Structure 1
Amino acid sequence: MASKNLSTKNAPGQLLAKLIANQANKYRHQILSVGTTMIVVGHAQPSLAIGLFQPTQQALSCMFAGGAGGVASPLLTGLPVVLSVAITILLFGYFISAGVKVVNALGEGQEVTQLIQQPLGVFLVTLVLYIVQSILFGSAAVC
């Protein structure tokens, strides 16, 4: 007896989505840990100047450094990096989890328009924030 999913018109796409969803569920923790490690390593090397919120991080570092000749505490000087890494890791984890949820729904043959709306909105807001902070702070690391 044929199953309900195999009798639909999109059966090959659903089978591929199920396969991807199974692998994504199986290796979700590994994907998150490798991505988190890469984000932390990328932020730990200031010479690379990579990061989603790098211009804001540089501006906050200048602000917390106490001005041109001021002395700041080590806690305050490290705060911008910690904030930037934390926000980036949270966004990365959110997009991975949302992607796995969407692929699972596709594999089950469900309607995914409601599942896609929120991650798409978060992506667009993040894109606007990235553009605005790049315009406001630029890419020059000058205090």
Structure 2
Amino acid sequence: ALLDTARYLVLPGLTLGLFYMAVYARLTRAAMLEVASQDFVRTARAKGVPEGGVQRRHILRNALLPVITVAGIQAGQLIGGAILVETVFAWPGIGRLAFDALLARDYQILLGVFLATSVLVLVFNLITDLLYAWIDPRVEVT
């Protein structure tokens, strides 16, 4: 049963993920090119740090900060995009529930869906802030 469900989840997952994956790849590349020309990267290379370590510890770690910021903002848009994808693929979920409630004019369910998705957006923003503080030690969580 799990394999059957996973098989039907491939197309909706690809539909939601491919657009954002391209945005994140371009943003990561641009951020890494910008960070690679900074002084602390040249210093790490001059100290003899292996190139893989320079790429991971120095360049990628600092380049992930804008990517995490954009990903946290787009997490709410991902929930909104799920409504359309669930409707197109006839996949039962919170988006399909919101669409059916809208068509049936069942406002109580619609308000419940809005409340649940608003809480999810707040949780995604909190996770984004915690990740930001974990990756960049200069950021303090108070």
Structure with greater helix share of residues: 2
TM range (shorter): 0.3 to 0.5
Question: What is the TM-score normalised by the length of structure 2?
Answer: 0.39
**TM, length-normalised to structure 1:** 0.39
